[in-house]
Amino acid sequence: MNKIGVLTSGGDAPGMNAAVRAVVRKALHEGLEVVGIKRGYSGVIEGDFITLDRSSVSDIIQRGGTFLRSARCEEFRTKEGRKRAAKKLREEGIEGLVVIGGDGSFTGAKLLNEETGIKTIGVPATIDNDIACTDDSIGYDTAMNTIIDAITKIRDTASSHERAFVIEAMGRHAGFLTLAAGLAGGAESILVPEIDFEMDEVCEKIQHDYEEGKIHSIVLVAEGVELGNVEFETNRNPDESPAFLIGREINERTGFETRVTILGHIQRGGAPTGRDRLLASRLGASAVDQLLAGKSNKMVGLIHNTVKVAPIEEAIESNKELNEEVYKLANILT
């Protein structure tokens, strides 16, 4: 193998730049040429390529976002689109591709390999941390710290005004980010999609804490929280975020003045933490090792602080389970 490509795809995550840097520098160290592909799979199809040398990845390890840009590409979902992509890669002499992204991007990588023979290795990067075969994905630690920081700030104002705050965190249909940030940030209640809850319990806790002298309460809600089985006394507007309904309900039932904060995209931004930079550096370099070893259709992950390689389909298909022990602990500690 003489030349490889690297791209970032799907939702951006802090630490993607550090991963690209690791891919480039490790590949150059091994005597490979590296091509950066702009805007994910769209850039593959359009041949939006740039040659990357050591200095082109200088000064990016500390930056959030991705300098290669990311995109969602509908055309790549079609067989025809992937055929065009493979043609462009072959014309450029790219034999292997490192795909830094989430499970959608990995599905694309898997199909590209199976249909065209282009070798692909996935590097897990998503703040949601919902990818199996790795303890953590790149960006998760930074986003968790951003949420903890927000909880800390909101707690100051919540206690000054004796208010309840409902804060909504990202994570799509998974609760990993919310659970970790809720426990580490000391949220009084944590509501995640994987675990059923009752509004009665949430409100009783707020009431009970107040009677015990606690003058504020923070309820951290995952954006994908399941509301289907929860009984509400107030009406639900189908377009509103779950946090607004939960906030209104708390206000109705407890009389506590309630405020809602949707953290939104600030959770995707910011300089990656040391932990994310370390993870990105190790996984980016390992992806190059895999290509050099002739491997394809794999994902590199970190399990118990050791780099592990898994079939990419295992990463896509396995359901990563929320740690219920951590959830129970959060309930005990808050």
128 is catalytic: yes
Site for ligand ADP in 8-67 (CB under 6 A): 9-11, 41
Neighbours of 317 (CB within 10 A): 11
Neighbours of 98 (CB within 10 A): 30
Q: Is 79 annotated as a binding residue?
A: no
58-69 residues labelled b (16+ CB within 10 A) or e (exposed): eebbebbbbbbb
Q: To which residue do tokens 């309900």 refer?
A: 249
- Give dist(CA 199, CA 126) in Å, integer: 30
Q: Which of 1, 30, 67, 77 binds ligand ADP (CB under 6 A)?
A: 77
| Span from 51-59, 107-115, 215-223, 265-273 in contact with ligand ADP (CB under 6 A) | 107-115
**197 near ligand ADP, rule: CB under 6 A:** no
Minimum distance from residue 109 beta carbon to ligand ADP (Å): 8
Site for ligand ADP in 112-141 (CB under 6 A): 126
**72 near ligand ADP, rule: CB under 6 A:** yes
Q: Which one from 48, 128, 130, 141 is the annotated catalytic residue?
A: 128
Phi, psi of 167 (to 5 degrees): -115, 130
**104 near ligand ADP, rule: CB under 6 A:** yes
Q: Is 103 annotated as a binding residue?
A: yes
Q: Is 281 annotated as a binding residue?
A: no
Minimum distance from residue 92 beta carbon to ligand ADP (Å): 19
- Kindly tell me the number of DSSP H helices and DSSP E strands found in the chain: 11, 11
Nearby residues of 177 by Cβ (< 8 Å), 6 or more positions away: 127, 128, 129, 140, 143, 144, 147, 169, 170, 171, 222, 267
Q: Choose between 102 and 182: whose C-beta lies nearer to ligand ADP.
A: 102
| Span from 102-110, 267-275, 297-305, 315-323 in contact with ligand ADP (CB under 6 A) | 102-110
Phi, psi of 37 (to 5 degrees): -110, 125
- The residues facing 302 across adjacent strands are 307
Q: Choose between 48 and 188: whose C-beta lies nearer to ligand ADP.
A: 48
Which residues are annotated as part of the binding site for ATP? 11, 72-73, 102-105
Q: Which residues are catalytic?
A: 128
- The residue ranges that bind ligand ADP (CB under 6 A) are 9-11, 41, 72-73, 76-77, 101-105, 107-108, 111, 126
